[in-house]
Amino acid sequence: MLVDALLEGGLLDALVQRLGALNEEIPEEATAVYNALSVAENCIELKSEVAEQAGSQSGLLEWLLRRLRPKAEVDANKQYAAEVLAVVLQAGGDAARRRFMDLGGVDRALQSVAPYRSRDPGTTEEEEFVENVFNVLCAVIMDPAAKDAFVEAEGVELMVLILKGRTAARTGALKCLDFATTGCPGACDRAVDQGALGSIFALFMGKLKVKGGKGGAKRQDDAVQAEEEERAVSVISNLLAGVTSKARRDRVAAKFVENEFEKCDRLMEIYFRYGARVEAEEARLAEEADEDDVDEDELLLSRLDAGLYTLQQCALVAAELWAVGDIGVRRRLLALLHQRSRSLAALREVLLEHRATLAAEGEAEAEAEAAAAQERQKRVSHVTGLLEALGHKDGAEEVGQAEHNGGVDAGGESGGKRRREDSLGGEEEQRASRQKVDNASS
């Protein structure tokens, strides 16, 4: 294969040598730099092992990092260098990400996006550059060690400042927070302590608007709003599950009590909307299965594209709120479920599938990496605790089998079901929980 022959001939080393010798102030040589980056990207797309080699052996990673320096003007080559760097880190695996961290890449990437906490990109190239740098950060902080480096470099604080600045970079900052707070208690604690809740919940409610900008400022379209909604739900789920103290958890939960439980209403609105999308996709695939069986992996991917992940995150948030024990929140969630002829069984069904998926992924990782498998098992145990709070017991017959699919039978199961669910625990515990959340809210 051509790519193999080029690599054996020292293609990457030759590219790095030429990149270092070219003067981009000369138009012809600037074009040569762009073409060299294009060669590297095409080789990675054709053969993913090239990314591993580029990230661990050649000097390409160092050259790309130098090209991120924040004071340099953003041109087509700087934008393309950030894009190629993101590709290398995404495809290069742990070796590329670890080398990136060793080179101080997390701090350099944060310095590159820091200017956009108070202003929007001025050109299309600059807008794409910022988006690519956020992709670089997200690719790196998939590594647990990089999450710690991100927190130590005050990355959480910077992302919160960008969110509060309401610039066009806020979508990328929210994405970074989503990646950083996943399985990282330190990042979750820092986000709550730095006052991120106001901006995150404003995005969750669809109330945070971008300030008027010029040039390449990202416009508010449906795709951007949908991504911000999904990311906000995921971050809230991460915070409720990841903070290390009850006080912080109560601060997050208290947001759902404010303004007559409007955020509970919003949560269940999103839950039902994404649930309808997933059900519609399942029905479509079921019709196709009559002619030809659908592959299980294809089915899962189609359901994920339809919004399965966000549906599961909404169910996790609802279960976390139920586990907090506030009587008002519990009654509100039940009322919203009952309006759609649903019950807690609907939430349990979603969480049971989510737990099964986590368990299966944990088994697959057990041999590959013990730390990742341990983290996955921790998440499985956490979801099990939420299921128990919702009334599910493994190996035991659930109360009200007519509720299994969220419906009620014709024999009056609805009233009995609601009476069972409305017995929400001892009154003293309920009053204490309500007082605890009210105190956190104030």
Q: pLDDT at position 408, please? A: 38
How many Å apart are CA 97 and CA 139, to the nearest integer? Answer: 8
Are 341 and 406 contacting, i.e. CB atoms less than 8 angstroms apart?
yes
* Confidence (pLDDT) at 359: 86
Q: Give residue 207's pLDDT band: very low, low, confident or very high (50, 70, 90).
A: confident
What mean pLDDT is predicted for residues 352-356?
Answer: 92
**pLDDT over threshold 50, residue 235:** yes
Judged on CB neighbours under 10 Å (0-12, 13-18, 19+), 297 is exposed
Mean pLDDT along residues 382-397: 83
What local confidence, expressed as pLDDT, does residue 178 receive? Answer: 97
Q: What is the token pair recorded at 329?
A: 């929140």
Give 48's pLDDT tier (boundaries 50, 70, 90).
confident
Using DSSP's 3-state secondary structure scheme, residue 386 falls into helix
pTM over 0.75: yes
In the chain, domain spans:
260-393+404-442
How far apart are the C-alpha atoms of 401 and 340, rounded to whole Å?
18
pLDDT in tens, 55-108: 776 688 999 998 888 777 889 999 999 999 999 999 888 888 999 999 999 999
Query: CA torsion 300→306→310→312, rounded to 10°?
Result: -40
Give the pair of three-digit tokens for residue 128. 């794409």
In this predicted model, which residue has the larger pLDDT, 151 or 53?
151
| Residue 172 pLDDT exceeds 70 | yes
- Which run of H or of E encompasses 85? helix 76-91
Which range has the worst mean pLDDT, 30-44, 87-101, 128-142, 352-366? Answer: 352-366
pLDDT at 422 over 50: no
* Per-residue model confidence as pLDDT tens digits over 243-299: 999 999 999 999 999 999 999 999 999 999 999 999 999 888 887 766 556 677 788
pLDDT confidence tier of residue 409, bands split at 50, 70 and 90: very low
CA 416, CA 389: separation in Å to the nearest integer? 19
Q: CA-CA distance, 121 to 239, in Å (whole number)? A: 30
Q: 251 with 189: CB under 8 angstroms?
A: no
